[in-house]
Each structure stands twice: as structure tokens, then as C-alpha cells.
Amino acid sequence: MLQLLSLTLAYDDTRFFGSVMFTDTDHLDEAPPTVLIDHADEAPWFRLRSVDPDGQDPTAPAMVEADRIMRFILRYTPDRIGRTSVDFP
């Protein structure tokens, strides 16, 4: 089970980047799953990349949770990246 450990986002007028770190309560002795976030020029307006080379699968729990968090944030603050709520699925 994942728990949010850290969320960092940096914005300028039209772009953003950051990372999401989780604690895996089932594997506390392992490195925390970390997903990097980067701006994209088309919907959903962000790209995700795991720092674990074997964890790039979009169905990996950390990737799914990072995607859910970013969709939530951008749906409610689209103006931070020069978008409107209509731009988001």
C-alpha cells in the first residue's frame, strides 16, 4: 500500500516539473517509489517517469497514483500552466 511521502512541483508561467515520492507500507526497507513529473505540450499536459528503470509501466502503483494526483491538481488549478478547465479530460 502506498502513502504519499512528498510532492514537489515547480511552476513558471506555462511549464512545471517536480516529483512524487511514496512510502510503500508493504516494503518499508526498500527505497521509496519516486515518480518524476514533467510538462507536456498536449493532454493530459504532463509526463511521468519512474526513477526505477524497471518501474516505467504506467500500471505500476506509483505511476497510477502519481497520475491521479496530477490530474486532480491540474483539473483544479489549470491556470497555473496557462490552461482552462476545458483542456482537461
Beta strand 16-24 with 46-50 is unpaired
Boundaries of every domain in the chain = 2-87
How many C-beta atoms lie closer than 10 Å to residue 63's C-beta? 20
Summarised one tens digit per residue, pLDDT across range 15-44 is: 889 999 999 989 889 889 999 999 998 888
Q: Is the pTM of this model over 0.75?
A: yes
* pLDDT at residue number 50: 94
Question: CA-to-CA distance for 33 and 24, rounded, in angstroms?
Answer: 7
